[in-house]
Amino acid sequence: MIQLIVFLPLLAAIIAGLGNRMLGNFVAKILTTGALFIACALSWPIFLDFLVGGQEAYVAPVFTWIASGEMDVAWSLRVDTLTAVMLVVVTTVSALVHLYSWGYMAEDPDQPRFFAYLSLFTFAMLMLVTSNNLVQMFFGWEGVGLASYLLIGFWYKKPSANAAAIKAFVVNRVGDFGFSLGIFGTFLVFGTVSIPEILEAAPAMAGSTIGFLGYRVDTMTLLCLLLFIGAMGKSAQFGLHTWLPDAMEGPTPVSALIHAATMVTAGVFMVCRLSPMFETSDMALAVVTFFGLLTAFFAATVGTAQMDIKRVIAYSTCSQLGYMFVAAGVGAYGIAMFHLFTHAFFKALLFLGAGSVIHAMHHEQDMRHYGALRKEIPLTFWAMIIGTLAITGVGIVGVFGFAGFYSKDLIIEAAFATDSELGGVAFFTLVFAALLTSFYSWRLIFMTFFGKPRWITSEHIQHSVHKTPETAEDATGGYHPHESPWSMLVPLGVLSLGAVFAGYLFYYPFGYAEEGEIFWAGSIALDTHLLHAIHEVPTWVKYAPGAVMLTGLAIAWLAYIKYTDWPAKFVDQFRVLHAFLYNKWYIDELYNAIFVKPAFAIGRFFWKRGDKGFIDRFGPDGVSALVASGTGVAKRFQSGYLYTYALVMLIGLVAAATWAITR
C-alpha cells in the first residue's frame, strides 16, 4: 500500500507530462487529481492504524540503490507515526489543491504541464517523508526543490516569476550545501547513512570531537548545525528566508501546496526525524531555538506592513515555521509536529481563500483595491474567517478552540516550561509575535471584506478587467466580483473542517502528556518531564495567548473599521519604522549589496578582462585573426593569369635546380 501511495503521483506526473496536449486538459487533470485522491484515501487508514490501532513501525523495501564500499543504500520506505502524520498532510492538501486548480487554472492554456508539476512535487515530498536513509531523504529534498522551481516559474513568460524561481533555487542551494556537508560528515562519523542506525548510535557520540577547518569541535554539534542549515533554507528561517515571499509569483495553488503545508515544513520534519541526534547537543538545540524565535518575530513584524494579500500570508507562514522550530529547539518535538499538522489545514485554507479573492478580483492582489467583499463572495469570506480564527488561536481554555488554539498555545507553554536558557526569551517573543499575528490577520480580513468597496473606483481594476456577461458592471460602472466555482469552494469547505476540528480532535494523541508519549514513542525523542511540565504552567501563561489575540483584534478593528485614518497617521508619524518593515528589514537590499553586486562585478571582470580580453583575444579570436592575415598575404599570389602561374613554376624550377647543383 505504501508503495502505491508514493509512486502513484509519479506515474500520473509522467503520463500527464509526456502526454501533455495530446491527452488534453481534462484527461491530464482527471488522471493527476484521481491519483492524488487515491493516495489520500490510502494514507488515512495508515494514519488511523497508528493513532488508534497501535500499529508498529515497519520498513517496506523497494530495491537496492547504491552499493559502494562501506556505503550500502537500499531504497526502502519507512512508515512510523512521524511518517503517517506527514502522509495525511501531504496527500490531503495536495489532493485538495489539485481539485482547487481545476477552477483556478481553468483559463490557462498549459494545464497538463501544471498538473504534472504538482504531482511531481507530491511524489518528491512523499519520497522525503518516507526515507529510511539520508541519501534517500536528500533525493526527496532536492526533488521538492526542483519541483518548486518549476512551479514558481510556471508562468515563464513573466519576468518576475522567472526571477522568483531562480531566487528560490539559488537560496535553497546555500542551505542544501550545508545539508549535504552534514550528510557527508554523518557518514564519516557513523559509517552509515541508515537513519535508524545513526539514531541508535548517536548518544554514544555525545562529547566526542572532530577536526573541522583546523579546529577540534564537538562532533554532534557540528553535524546537527550543518544539517540545520539545510532546514533553514528549506523552511525559510531568518537569513535564508528571502525566497519565500517572492515565491508568491507562482499561481496561488502553488503557494498553498509548497509554501504553506508541505515543502516549507520539510526542515521541521527533518529536525524531528533526527531528534535523537539533536538531543546530544545543547548548543545545536539553542541555535535551533534562537533562529526559530528570531524568525517568528521578524516575519510577524514584516507581515504588519504588507499590502499584497499573498505576501501577508507568506510572512505568516514564515512566522509559524519559527514557532515550530522553537518547539523543536526546546525538546517538544511532538508539539512541533502537532503545529505542523494543524498549520497545514488553516494555512492551506488561507492561501486558497486568498486565491478565491484574487480570482474574484481579476487577479488583483493589493488589498488597497479590495473592501466590502463579504457580501459579494460570502462563502470565501466565511472560509477566510475560519482560517483567521484558527491561526490567531481563538478558543476557550478547557472548552473548545480552533486548530491553532491548541498547537500554537502548546508551543508558547513549552517555551515557558523548558529549562533552556532561551526559554524565557522565547516565551515573551512568541507571545508578542502572537499579538502581531492577530493584528495582521484581522487587518487582512477588515481590509478585504469590510469598509467601502474600493474596487468600484479603482482605475487599476477597471482597466485590467475584461468585461464579460459573468463580470457585468453595476449601476456605478464598477466591476462586480463573483464567487468562485464549486471546484474551488469544495476544497475550502474541507479545509475549513480541518481548521475548526484538527486541534480539538488530535490534541490528546499529539500534545497531551501521557497520550503523546505513547503516540510518538519510537519515532522522535521525547522529554517526558517537559511534556508534563507544560500542563502545569501557571494559569496566566495559558491565558496570555488569548489576551494578546484579543488585543491584536481590537487594534485592527479600531484602525481599519472604527478610525480608518489611523494607519495613514501612523505612517506619517513613524515613516522610518514603516519603511523598515515594508521593505522587510532591508535584508534583500543588504544581500544585494554584499553578495549580488560583488558577484556581478566579479563576473563582469572575468568576462571582459579574462574571457574576452585574454582567452578570446589570444585564443580563438587571435588564431582566426592570424589565419585571416595569412590568407590576405597568400591571396596576392593568386592573380588568375596563366602566365603568372607559369612564371612562378619557372622560378620554382630554377630555385630547385640551383639548390641541386650547389649541394
Report the range out of 106-115, 442-451, 458-467, 510-519 with the highest average pLDDT: 442-451
Mean pLDDT of 349-372: 90
Report how far residue 291's alpha carbon sits from residue 224's, in angstroms, rounded to the nearest whole number: 14
- CA–CA separation, 434 and 436 (whole Å): 5
Contact 243, 171 (CB under 8 A): yes
Segment 69-92 shows an average pLDDT of 89
pTM for the full predicted model? 0.88
Q: 59: helix, coil or strand?
A: strand
pLDDT at 321 over 70: yes
- pLDDT recorded at residue 466: 42
Residue 244 pLDDT class (50, 70, 90 cuts): confident
Q: How far is CA 175 from the centre of its chain?
A: 13
Categorize the per-residue pLDDT at 296 as very low, low, confident or very high, splitting at 50, 70 and 90: very high
SS3 content of the chain, % helix, strand, coil (to 5): 75, 5, 20
What integer best gives the mean pLDDT of the chain? 88
Lowest mean pLDDT among 12-16, 323-327, 555-559, 603-607: 603-607
Which tens digits make up the pLDDT trace of 169-215? 999 999 999 999 999 999 999 989 999 999 999 999 988 888 888 88
pLDDT digits (tens, 9 = 90+) for 409-431: 999 999 999 887 788 899 999 99
Burial 358-378 (b: 16+ CB within 10 A, else e): bbbbeebbebebbbbbbebbe
| Confidence band, pLDDT 50/70/90 cuts, at residue 69 | confident
What is the band of 606 on the pLDDT scale with cuts at 50, 70, 90?
A: confident
Separation of alpha carbons 322 and 240, rounded Å: 13
Partnered with residue 58 across adjacent β-strands are 79
pLDDT for 460: 52
pLDDT of res. 467: 41
pLDDT of residue 479: 60
